[in-house]
Amino acid sequence: MARFIVKRLVAMIAVLFAISVLTFLMLEAIPNGSPAERLGGRLATAAELHEINIEYGFNKPLYVQYVKSMEQIFSGTAYSYSQGLNVVDQVKAGLPATLSLSLGAGVIWLFFSIVVGTITAIKSGRFTERVLTVLAMMGVSFPPFFLGAVLIYYLGYKAKIFPLGGYVPLFNDPVQWAVHLVLPWFTLSVLFIGFYSRVLRSTILDTINEDYVRTARAKGLSERQVLVRHILRNSLIPIISLWGLDLAQVIGGGAILTESIYNLHGVGQFARDSIAHLDLTSILVVTMLTAVAVVVLAAVVDVLYALLDPRIRLG
């Protein structure tokens, strides 16, 4: 077991390293990406550009710049080129909104995926299944910014039931916090419920023909017990692992579209703004944050699996 964990850790660090290098190189290779020109503005003279280059070390070899950027990011002293603000602080400021959105939506989408997936599997071929399948299909076909715009317009402007967007900190006003997040939670969840319920349905239909399910029925367990203890328990494995990865992406700014349409000022919106300004440091930091979240959660999921399922550990 220890060996498995160590192996997984090494792979994790390797992937993170590769992602950071790749992002760094990609941002460097961007044709008009010269950071000195962006810092100096359009009217900077060659001499000024030269000074900026020396001050920030842009004239050093790439690997030196890479090491320096990483040092700055991990010591929390990375400053954005365009506004001169501390990037790590900026990301931290966005985290409460992003975490509220992603954790809330994560719970919602996991719960409803399991419900819808199970119902569509056990009612396979019936009317209920058809209706839910159509809904799931609709769910995966709605881009979040369009769904968000429709909800804001009809429920916000027209019916005046929900606010038009924005984020209220949880500790300022818990009720307003929740009211402001209802639509974003829904918008973000719909997509995932659509996908997950389809996956769960097909894994349940796979599991249902397994020998151990027949055995469970044969030994006289009730249909409910068979479903919960034997079928669901096994079918949920892929769902939970997908959930871990998707949640990580959403925490790391992946909800960029939902955050933008609802104006939540989270990490995703910060990423969007820094991309609009072509602010390399900020993009690098957000990318790293997402990558860390994804890779760490993926590793946690793997280790949990190995603990639960000896086939993975030994195979």
Partner 1 sequence: MPSRAPAANVMATQSAAGSEFSEVSPALLDDNEELPPGLGPWKLAWRRLRRNRVSLAFGVVFLIIVILCVGAPIYSHDIAHIGPNIENVSGTVKIGNKRVHIVSLSSIPVGPTWHSHYFLGADLNGRDLAVRLLYGGRNSLEVGGVATLITMFLAVILGVVAGYFRGWADGIISRVLDIIWAYPAVLLGVALGATLAVSGIDFGLFSLKGNSLIVPAFVIGIVYVPYVAKPVRGQVLQLREREFVDAARQQGLSHFRIMTGEILPNLASTIIVFVPLILANAILLEAGLSYLGAGVQPPNPSWGTMISDGVSTIPAAFHLVLVPGIMLVLAVLSINVFGDGLRDALDPRAKVRIAR
Amino acid at 60: K
Find the binding residues for partner 1 in span 120-139 (CB under 8 A).
121-122, 124-125, 133, 137-138
66 makes contact with partner 1 (CB under 8 A): no
Rounded to the nearest whole angstrom, what is the least distance from the CB of residue 173 to partner 1 in the complex?
Answer: 25
Rounded to the nearest whole angstrom, what is the least distance from the CB of residue 223 to partner 1 in the complex?
Answer: 7
27 makes contact with partner 1 (CB under 8 A): yes
Nearer to partner 1, 168 or 283 (CB): 283
Rounded to the nearest whole angstrom, what is the least distance from the CB of residue 55 to partner 1 in the complex?
Answer: 24
298 makes contact with partner 1 (CB under 8 A): yes
Q: Among 1, 18, 25, 67, indicate the residue that binds partner 1 (CB under 8 A).
A: 18
255 makes contact with partner 1 (CB under 8 A): yes
- Say if residues 265 and 97 touch (Cβ distance below 8 Å): yes
- Say if residues 58 and 36 touch (Cβ distance below 8 Å): yes
Q: Among 53, 290, 301, 302, indicate the residue that binds partner 1 (CB under 8 A).
A: 290
Chain-centroid distance of CA 173 in Å reads: 26
CA-atom Rg of the chain in angstroms? 24
Find the binding residues for partner 1 in span 180-209 (CB under 8 A).
191-192, 195-196, 198-199, 201-206, 208-209
Q: Given the rule CB under 8 A, which of 1-9, 24-32, 84-92, 97-105 is the region that contacts partner 1? A: 24-32
152 makes contact with partner 1 (CB under 8 A): yes
Is the four-CA dihedral 151, 154, 156, 160 of positive or negative sign?
negative
Amino acid at 312: I
Nearer to partner 1, 111 or 174 (CB): 111
41 makes contact with partner 1 (CB under 8 A): no
What character string, x for contact with partner 1 (CB under 8 A) and - otherwise, covers 265-284?
------xx--xx-x----x-
Q: Among 49, 99, 108, 149, indicate the residue that binds partner 1 (CB under 8 A).
A: 149
78 makes contact with partner 1 (CB under 8 A): no
Q: Which residues pair with 79 in a beta bridge?
A: 86
261 makes contact with partner 1 (CB under 8 A): yes
Find the binding residues for partner 1 in span 208-247 (CB under 8 A).
208-209, 223, 238, 242, 245-246
Nearer to partner 1, 153 or 212 (CB): 153
Nearer to partner 1, 177 or 188 (CB): 188
